[in-house]
Chain A
Amino acid sequence: MATGVATDSNRLAYTGGVLAPAAQARTARRWGWLLYAEYRLTSMRAYLQTIVIRSIGLPLLYLASMGLGLGALVDSGAGGVDGVSYLVFVAPGLLVSSIVMEATGEFTYPVMSGFKWQKHFFAAAASPVRPGQIAVGEVVAVGLRFLIETVVFWLALLLFGAVTAATSWLVILIAPLAALAFGAPLLAFAATQTDEGAQFAFIQRFVVMPMFLFAGTFFPLGAMPWYLQWIGWISPMWHGTQLARVVCFGMPNPVWLSVLHLVVLLVTAVAGTWFAVRIFTRRLTR
């Protein structure tokens, strides 16, 4: 490799080895979102250990405690739910809810950091990548990570015998979609925030926790009084969980309702991303 002396005699400004600026710009115009997503995935390497431990440990933990431990209690009480054992009933809910909750971690503080603390959004915006592409890249990178985690979780479900239908592999798409249906609007919201206050802690306590507890993960919405059931209807987590139950153990559900779940998730994810693109563009070009 170049020694100090050799480098000094080299030209630094133009080595001639670089892609022509026009070609850089063409690549960035088309693939900027992917280039940014690539960076985002690279930066996840820093906490790869945590991700791996969590994505393998969490399903095992949930299934062993909620599935088996709590399941024994419920099965001896109510004799299962929706005609299946509690383990089979709760497993899709645990999968979807834990992936959705991951979205909270990725789309709150890191977003504030990108704009305010570490400012890596501004660094990226000074390259040929455009602001809107940064927002899309965030969604793509985090979605990809969710996809991989969902596969691991799904394998754990197979291991525990917690799925009974052949269509269960479809959760691999459903869970990340549900996570983005919650995460993309959250990304847009986080991008509007300029002050580090308690807003994210509030979201955790008053949006995410209630969604986890009341939106059909551990018991059907019908087990709650009617005046609390709206919590499920407005939660991406519930729509995702219901869809996951249909594909995992063939939970009886009218076709129109399953389609509605899917439409709600798609519309929310796309609309959230659209808002995020607008807000990123506004904030990075002001």
Chain B
Amino acid sequence: MTVLSGLYAGNVRAVLERGFKVIGTQNWAILVSGFFEPVFYLLAMGFGLGGLVGQVTGPNGTPMTYVAFIAPALLATSAMNGAIYDSTWNVFFKMRFGRLYEAMLSTSLGPLDVAAGEIAMALFRGLLYACGFLGVMAVLGIATSWWALAMVPVALLIALGFAAVGMAVTSWFTSFQQMELINIVLLPMFMFSSTLFPIDVYPQAVQWFIQALPLWHGVELMRQLSIGAFGPMTAVHLAYFGVMSVLGVAFCTVRLRALFLR
């Protein structure tokens, strides 16, 4: 494959080994602290606000408590946020300040080894957080179906899609100001993607726009899984992330030279 020539040395393992070594030596509290943000959201919004909201209508018209309604959405959002952070800010910092990639790429490693290693590490962290959050949901009694177990691999799928696209997009960024754009996109997506409230309060055109965004598909898919209530849209959601991941990885590969070899 000509696209890959000079990009891949087949040594992702070396990058992963370094990644795990870092996790082993870094402050464990940092790793653990990442787990709390979605949990805080769940407790505050789910119980504090939940008292004011009451019952909500979930997938296939199933009535749900507010906590049960937002929990899967928060899992999807946290998968997105973690993946985006690891593939954008983290990559940007290591490139500009840590000069880590400069050192890595002066060995026989290729850019694809580095990129694949970083994405794999992001997925590993995502796996830990997803398992932890699912545990919290189980304790709160809001994961009512065995299908909820499938939320973990789906969280990884969502993370993969966002990580690949995020890394590709980072290849165009040169300054902190530009990096801020990432937050400017993510925050509204979080707020409007039927995460905390159903989107039918908005005009039809706005709803269509929201439904084109990836997070909405992630949230809806997770919500269906949490109670095991599926419909024809389930396949659409899955397909959306399947396509996003494939395109994202391809896109990222094409941009690797621009990202690492600048």
The answer to whether A and B touch directly, with their CB atoms under 8 angstroms apart, is: yes
B33 CB–A CB distance under 8 Å: yes
A214 at the interface (CB under 8 A from B): yes
Whether the Cβ atoms of B197 and A73 lie closer than 8 Å is yes
A202 is an interface residue with CB less than 8 A from chain B:
yes
| CB contact between A202 and one of B33, B40, B53, B177 (< 8 Å): that residue | B33
Pair B52/A219 contact, Cβ less than 8 Å = yes
Q: A223-B48, A223-B51 are in contact. Are A209 and B37 (CB under 8 A)?
A: yes
Of A3-11, A63-71, A129-137, A161-169, the one touching chain B:
A63-71
Cα separation A169 to B48 with both chains bound (whole Å):
29
Q: Is the CB of A65 within 8 A of B40?
A: no
Tell me if B238 counts as interface (CB < 8 A to partner A): no
Asked whether, in the complex, the Cβ of A219 is within 8 Å of the Cβ of B49, the reply is yes
Mask for A60-90, Cβ within 8 A of B = 1, else 0? Answer: 0110111011101110011001000010000
Within 8 A of A (CB), among B32-79: 33-34, 36-37, 40-41, 43-45, 47-49, 51-56
Do the beta carbons of A224 and B177 come within 8 Å of each other? no
Please indicate the chain B residues that have their CB under 8 angstroms from the CB of A50 in the complex.
177, 180
- Contact residues in A for B43 (Cβ distance below 8 Å): 213
Contact-size category for B: 35 or more
The 8 A CB mask of B5-48 against A (1 = contact, 0 = none) is: 00000000000000000000001011001101100110111011
Instruction: Tell whether, in the assembled complex, residue A74 and residue B49 are in contact, meaning their CB atoms are under 8 Å apart.
Output: yes
Chain B residues with Cβ below 8 Å from A209 are 37, 40
| Chain B 183-196 interface mask (CB, 8 Å, partner A; 1/0) | 01001100110001
Give bound CA distance, A50 to B180, whole Å: 7
Bound state CA distance, A73 and B51, in angstroms?
12
**Does A128 reach chain B (CB closer than 8 Å)?**
no
Query: Contact between B29 and A198 (Cβ–Cβ < 8 Å)?
Result: yes
Q: Is A282 an interface residue (CB 8 A)?
A: no
Residue from B27, B36, B37, B197 with most neighbouring chain A CB atoms (10 Å): B197
Q: Which of B44, B56, B180, B188 contacts A73 (CB 8 A)?
A: B56
Tell me if B56 and A213 are in contact (CB < 8 A). no
- Residue pair A218, B37 in contact (C-beta under 8 Å): no
Contact partners of B52 in chain A: CB under 8 A: 74, 77-78, 81, 86, 219, 223
List the count of A-B residue pairs having beta carbons below 8 Å apart: 95
Which of B27, B40, B52 is packed against the most chain A CB atoms within 10 Å?
Answer: B52
Q: B198 contacts the other chain (Cβ, under 8 Å)?
A: yes
Whether, in the assembled complex, B199 has its beta carbon less than 8 Å from a beta carbon of chain A, the answer is yes
* CB <8 Å contact, B197 and A69: yes
Query: Given that A57-B184, A65-B192, A69-B201 are known contacts, is A74 also in contact with B45, CB under 8 Å in the complex?
Result: no
B230 at the interface (CB under 8 A from A): no
Q: Chain A contact residues: over half helix, strand or loop, or mixed?
A: helix
* Residue B208, interface by CB 8 Å: no
- Residue in B closest to A81 when the chains form the complex, CB atoms: B52
Query: Judging by beta carbons under 8 Å apart, are A70 and B196 in contact?
Result: yes
Whether the pair B44, A65 counts as a contact (CB closer than 8 A) is: no
- The verdict on B147 contacting chain A, using a C-beta distance below 8 Å, is no
Q: B146 an interface residue at 8 Å Cβ cutoff?
A: no
Contact flags A181-192 to B (C-beta < 8 A → 1, else 0)? 000000000000
Q: How far is the CB of A80 from chain B (nearest CB, A)?
A: 9
A78 to B36: give the CA distance in the assembly, Å: 29
Check A69 against B199 for contact (C-beta < 8 Å): yes
Shortest beta-carbon distance from B58 to chain A in Å: 13
CB distance from A201 to the nearest CB of B (A): 7
Judge if B202 is at the interface, Cβ distance under 8 Å.
yes
B45–A61 touching, CB < 8 Å = no
A47 interfacial contact with B, CB 8 Å:
yes
**Chain A hits for B184, CB < 8 A:** 53-54, 57
The distance in angstroms between the C-alpha atoms of A209 and B192, with both chains bound, is 20
Smallest CB separation, A281 vs chain B (Å): 30
**Other A-B pairs, 11, CB within 8 Å; known A65-B197, A69-B201, A214-B48:** A47-B177, A47-B180, A65-B191, A66-B196, A69-B202, A198-B27, A205-B33, A213-B40, A213-B45, A218-B44, A218-B45
Which residues of B approach A to under 8 Å, CB–CB?
Answer: 27, 29-30, 33-34, 36-37, 40-41, 43-45, 47-49, 51-56, 176-177, 180, 184, 187-188, 191-192, 196-199, 201-202
The 8 closest A-B pairs by CB, nearest first: A213-B44, A65-B191, A77-B54, A78-B52, A72-B201, A77-B53, A69-B197, A219-B48
Show 19 residue pairs from A and B whose CB-CB distance is below 8 angstroms, ordered by the A residue.
Answer: A46-B177, A47-B180, A50-B177, A54-B184, A61-B187, A65-B192, A66-B191, A66-B196, A69-B191, A69-B199, A69-B201, A73-B53, A73-B197, A74-B49, A74-B52, A74-B53, A77-B55, A81-B52, A198-B27
